[in-house]
Structure 1
Amino acid sequence: MSTDEQDRTDSEPARARPAPASAPADPTSAHQQRLTPVERAIDRAAHRLLADASDRGIRAGLIEFLVFGAKQAWACVFGAALLAVIVAARLWYPDDATLAPNDALTIAAVVIQVVMVTTRLETGRELWVVVLFHVTGTVMEIFKTDVGSWAYDGDGVLRIAGVPLFSGFMYAAVGSYLVRVHRLFDLGFTQYPRRWLTVIAAAAIYANFFTHHFIVDLRWVLLAAVVLLWWPTVMHFRVWRRTYRMPLLAAFALVAVFIWFAENIATWAGAWFYPDQADGWQPVSVSKLVAWFLLMIISVVLVTFVYPPRPSAGASDRADG
C-alpha cells in the first residue's frame, strides 16, 4: 500500500467518527438560571459559607433543616410582609388618621409588590401570575362578601363593591409563594397528572365556590377527585446537597395548614371577619382547611402555566400538557 493510500485509509475513519457527545447539563447550573439575580447572589454566598460543611452526620442534617427553613421563609417574603403590615395596622395605626386603615393596607401592598419587582425578587413572568391570582381572588371576594360568607369594615375608598383592594393581594401572596418555592427548591415530579385534567379540576373547584350557594355543594366530590388525580404524584425537592421526596398531596395539605394559621392571625388583626367572629374574635373554624386545600389546587394549576411540571432528574415520567 502506498503512503498516499495509507494516509487516506487513516484519515477516513477520523472523518467518519462522530463528534463526542457533549457533557450532560449540570443540574445545579440549570437551577441557578431559574433564580433571580438577587437569589443567585444569595445562593453563591451560601455555597461559599457552607463549602467546608460535612455532608454526613448530625451537623449535615441540621444544615439541611436550616437551609430548608431559610428557603421557605424567603419564599414567603411577600405574604409575610403583607401579614406584618396587617398586624402593625391593628396594633399601632392611629384611630384619628385621615387615611382609612384599609386604604393604607392597599397602598402598603402595592409598595411591597413594586419592591419585589424592582429589586428583582420576582420575575416578570411571575408577576403576571400574581396579577391573575389578584383578579381571580378579588372576583371571589366580591361574591363571597355579597352573600355574607365574610365581611370587611366599611372604611376607605380603595374598594370594589365593598371589598378593599388589599384583599386581592392576600391571594396574590399565595401565588407569590408558590412560584417562588417552585424555583427555590428546584421542584420535579413523578407521575404528575395530565395538565388538561388538572385544569378541569381547578375550574370545577373555582365554580363550586360560587355555585354551592345555589345548588348542592360538591366540595367533597371535588376533594375525592383531587385525591384520585394527584394520589400517585411524588414531589422531589432539593434543599442543599440532598434531594428529598414527598407525596404531593401531603405538600398541598401542609401549605393549606400554614395558610389557615395566617388566616387566624389576619382575622385577629381585623383584616376581615367571619359571621361567628362579629361579636369578638375566635379561631377560624378548622373546616376552612378543606376550602384552603381546594383553593390550593386552583393556585397550583395557575402556577403550572409559568413553571410546567417537569420530571425529577433521572425520572422517566413526563408531565403531558
Structure 2
Amino acid sequence: MRVIKQLFGFGWEQALSCLFPVVIFASLALTQWVSVPFLPRYDLLLFICLWMQWGMVRSGLETIDELKVISLFHIIGLTLEIFKVHMGSWSYPEEGYFKVFGVPLYSGFMYASVASYLCQAWRRLKVDLVRWPSFWSVVPLATAIYLNFFTHHYWMDVRWWLAGLVLIVFWRASVTYEVGGVRYRMPLVLAFVLIGFFIWLAENIATYLGAWEYPNQTDAWNLVHVGKVSSWLLLVIVSFLIVATLKQVKGKERKSRGLSAEDRHKNRRKAL
C-alpha cells in the first residue's frame, strides 16, 4: 500500500507540473470542433496560451523567475520553428493573423510548456543534482546539441556523436527528488530518455490534433517516426541543461546573499 501511495503521489505531482502542456493539448482538441467567428484557430490558440500564462503567474503557480526561463524557451523554440518550417521539415497549413514567416506565434508556447513542466516538477519534487558536471562541459554541449538542429541541413548530422557525449558527460550524474517525505534517486540519463519518450508520445497526439503537420501527414495522419525520439531526447537534454544551469546560478546567488547577510549580522554584533 505504501508503494501504491508513493506512486500515486508521484503521479499527482507530475500531473500538476504538466498543467500548461495539458491546457495546450485540451485547447488543440477543443479548437478542432469549436471555432470563434473571424478568429483563425492558430490565433485562438495563441490567446488561450497567453491567458494561461498570465493566470499561472497571477495565481502564484509560476514565479517571475520561472516566467523568465519560460520566455527564454519561447524565443529558442520560435527561432527553431521558423528555421525548420523554412527548410520544409514540417508546416502550419492553416491561416492566422499572428504568424511570423509561416509560423504561428502559439508554437513557441509548446516549447515553453516543456520549460514550465521542468520548473514546476523541479520545485514540487524538490529536485537536487548529484555529481553534476562542470559549467564548462554542460554549456558547450547544450549549445552544440541546439546548433545541430540547424547545421545538419547543411552538414553531416552529428546527433549520435552528441548523444555519446551526453552519456560520457552525465554517466555518473543523477537527480534526487522527494515524494511524501521520502527521497529517491534516478540516473540522469534515464530521466532524459523517459522524458524524451513521453514527449514523442505527446507529439503524436499533437500532430493528430493538427498542431502542425509533417510532410508524410499531408494526405492522412501517420504515426510520427520513432526516429524523432532522438530529436526530442536531445531537445529535452538542452531544456534540462538550461533549467539546471539557471537553477544553480540562482541557488548560488541566494547562498551568496545569505552569507552576506550573516556577515553583516556578525559585524553588527562585533560593533556592539
Q: Determine if the TM-score, normalized by the shorter chain, exceeds 0.5.
A: yes
1:71 counterpart letter in structure 2: E
Question: How much has 1:195 moved relative to structure 2?
Answer: 2.1
Q: Distance in 1 between matches of 2:173 and 2:212?
A: 35
- What amino acid does structure 1 have at the position aligned with 2:42? N
The match for 1:253 is 193
Q: What percentage of residue pairs aligned between the two structures are identical?
A: 41
Q: Matches of 2:232 and 2:157 in 1, distance apart?
A: 15
Question: C-alpha offsets along residues 233-267 of structure 1, whole Å, 9 cap, x if unaligned?
Answer: 12111111311111111011111111111111110
Asked if 1:147 is matched to 2:87, the reply is: yes
In the other structure, the counterpart of 2:34 is: 93
- SS of 1:308 mapped into structure 2: helix
Q: Which residue of 2 aligns with 1:68?
A: 10
Count of matched residue pairs: 250
Shift of 1:228: 0.7
The amino acid of 2:104's aligned partner reads: P
- Letter matched to residue 17 of structure 2: A
Where does residue 216 of structure 1 map in the other structure?
156
> How far apart, CA to CA, are the structure 2 residues paired with 1:189 and 1:178?
14
Letter aligned with residue 93 of structure 1: V
Q: Match for 2:23: what amino acid?
A: A
> Is the CA contact (8 Å cut-off) linking 1:154 and 1:162 kept in structure 2?
no
1:270 to 200, 205, 210: 210
Residue 156 (1) aligns with residue 96 (2): yes
Distance between the aligned counterparts of 1:245 and 1:305, measured in 2?
19
- One-letter identity of the residue aligned with 1:193: P
Deviation of the 1:178 alpha carbon = 0.6
Q: What secondary structure sits across from 1:306 in the alignment?
A: helix
Q: Secondary structure at the match of 2:248?
A: coil
Partner of 1:5: none
2:28 partner amino acid: I
Map of 1:284 onto structure 2: 224
The one-character-per-residue Cα deviations of 1:152-206 (angstroms, maximum 9, x if unpaired) are: 0140111111100000000000000011111111112221111221110010011
Q: Normalization by structure 1: what TM-score?
A: 0.76
Q: CA RMSD in A?
A: 1.3
- Normalised to the residue count of structure 2, the TM-score between the two structures is 0.89
Which one of the candidate residues 49, 55, 76 is aligned to 1:136? 76
Structure of larger gyration radius: 1
Unpaired segments of 5 or more residues in structure 2? 252-272
In the alignment, the residues of structure 1 paired with residue 134 and residue 12 of structure 2 have an alpha-carbon distance, to the nearest angstrom, of 32
Distance in 2 of aligned mates of 1:201 and 1:227: 11
- Corresponding residue number in structure 1 for 2:255: none
Question: For the residues of structure 2 that align with 1:89 and 1:70, how far apart are their CA atoms?
Answer: 27
Q: How does 1:1-321 map to 2 (within 5 A)?
A: 59-90=1-32, 92-94=33-35, 97-308=37-248
Distance 1:304 1:188 in 2: 9
Amino acid at match of 1:262: A
Structure 1 runs, 4 residues or longer, greater than 6 Å off: none
Q: Which runs of 5+ in 1 are unaligned?
A: 1-58, 311-321
Deviation at 1:62, TM superposition (A): 1.6
- The CA distance in 2 between the partners of 1:180 and 1:76, in whole Å, is 8
